[in-house]
């Protein structure tokens, strides 16, 4: 099992390069959609996007096992919030990859009697729930960092003790808001892994939101967000110190 997981982990870099290429093609296609002189290039980008998508499905065949193993490990986390968020996220990712594998087999003709659209929607739902739980983990991390920093500097205590000399409610609100934003900025500035993971998950969330019709945008926004999240994913592989743990 360990050797299999190690082997599938080695394909993550290739998968993210393929993913970045896929969404870059989608983004460029959208930018050139109304340029008649670029029709041939748009067609080539479309073909390349399809090839990258197909290649990624092959790389992801072992990811179900990886996600289940990750869920098994997160069950032993001491923090109950992290344990819940990460375990539920990993289980939803496993279900997403199962749907993705079934769709891959359907496209190859290995499976015929399935509702392709229903499986695609289910895959998007599982992906959506996995990202929501990951973002909840990010928000929990950010809140913890802010609380720790506020305690060290007694920032909030100073704001509450000296809100305003004139007692103006509006000034008090502005002061508190400014203190909160300053605290948030300082907390994130010193924790790039949290910032990267949050931005990556927010960008990824646009994709299932659009597919499920919860918040529809356009192919350009989806392509751009997918490209940004892919580049951040590649960066976290190149520099492991930028990857959140757990």
Residue 186 covered by a domain: no
pLDDT tens for residues 153-203? 664 555 555 554 455 676 777 777 887 888 888 888 989 999 999 999 999
What is the pLDDT at residue 7?
46
Q: Give the least confident one: 47-61, 121-135, 144-158, 232-246.
A: 144-158
Residue 183 covered by a domain: no
Residue 183: closest CA among 158, 200, 204, 202: 158
d(CA 100, CA 211): 15
Can you tell me the mean pLDDT for 94-120?
90
Residue 164 covered by a domain: no
What is the pLDDT at residue 155?
47
Give 170: exposed, middle or buried? Use CB within 10 Å, 0-12, 13-18, 19+.
exposed
Residue 143 covered by a domain: no
What is the pLDDT at residue 167?
53
Residue 184 covered by a domain: no
Calculate what percentage of the chain has a pLDDT beyond 90: 55
Total-model pTM: 0.86
Of the spans 10-24, 102-116, 125-139, which averages the highest pLDDT?
A: 125-139
Q: Which residues contact 48 (CB under 8 A, 6 or more apart)?
A: 21, 25
pLDDT tens for residues 68-94? 999 999 999 999 999 999 999 999 999
Q: Are 52 and 60 in contact (CB under 8 A)?
A: no
Residue 169 covered by a domain: no
Q: Are 74 and 125 in contact (CB under 8 A)?
A: no
What is the pLDDT at residue 9?
59
What is the pLDDT at residue 244?
87
Residue 57 covered by a domain: yes
Helix (H), strand (E) at residue 98: helix 80-108
What is the pLDDT at residue 179?
79
Q: How many domains does the chain have?
A: 1
Can you tell me the mean pLDDT for 120-143?
96
Q: Report which of residues 241 and 11 the model is more confident about.
A: 241
Residue 98 covered by a domain: yes
The whole-chain average pLDDT of the chain stands at 87
Produce one character per residue of 24-52: b if its CB has 16 or more CB atoms within 10 Å, e if not: bbbbbbbeeeeeeebeeebeebeebbeeb
Can you tell me the mean pLDDT for 54-68?
85
Task: State yes or no: pLDDT of 47 exceeds 80.
Answer: yes
Residue 127: closest CA among 51, 194, 214: 214
d(CA 82, CA 138): 10
What is the pLDDT at residue 12?
75
pLDDT band, residue 2 (cuts 50/70/90)? low
Spell out the long-range contacts of 57-62 with Cβ–Cβ below 8 A and sequence spacing 24 or more. 57/100, 57/101, 57/103, 57/104, 57/107, 58/104, 59/11, 59/12, 59/14, 59/15, 59/18, 60/15, 60/97, 60/100, 60/101, 61/101, 61/104, 62/4, 62/5, 62/7, 62/8, 62/11
pLDDT band, residue 52 (cuts 50/70/90)? very high
Q: Which domain holds residue 40?
A: 2-132+199-242
């Amino acid at each position: 099992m360990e050797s299999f997981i190690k082997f599938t982990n080695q394909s993550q870099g290739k998968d993210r390069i393929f993913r970045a290429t896929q969404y870059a093609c989608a983004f460029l296609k959208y930018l050139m959609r109304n340029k008649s002189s670029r029709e041939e290039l748009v067609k080539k980008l479309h073909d390349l996007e399809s090839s990258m998508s197909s290649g990624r499905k092959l790389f992801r065949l072992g990811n179900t096992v990886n996600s289940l193993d990750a869920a098994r490990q997160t069950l032993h986390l001491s923090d109950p919030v992290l344990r819940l968020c990460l375990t539920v996220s990993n289980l939803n990712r496993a279900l997403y990859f199962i749907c993705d594998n079934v769709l891959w087999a359907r496209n190859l003709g290995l499976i015929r009697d399935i509702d392709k659209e229903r499986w695609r929607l289910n895959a998007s739902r599982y992906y959506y729930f996995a990202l929501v739980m990951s973002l909840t983990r990010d928000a929990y991390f950010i809140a913890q960092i802010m609380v720790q920093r506020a305690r060290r500097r007694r920032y909030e205590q100073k704001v509450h003790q000296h809100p305003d000399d004139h007692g103006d409610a509006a000034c008090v609100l502005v002061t508190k808001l400014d203190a909160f934003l300053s605290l948030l900025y300082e907390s994130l500035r010193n924790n790039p892994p949290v910032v990267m993971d949050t931005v990556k998950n927010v960008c990824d969330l646009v994709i299932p939101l659009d597919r499920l019709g919860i918040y529809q945008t356009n192919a350009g926004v989806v392509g751009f967000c997918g490209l940004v999240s892919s580049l951040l994913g590649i960066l976290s592989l190149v520099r492991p110190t930028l990857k959140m743990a757990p």
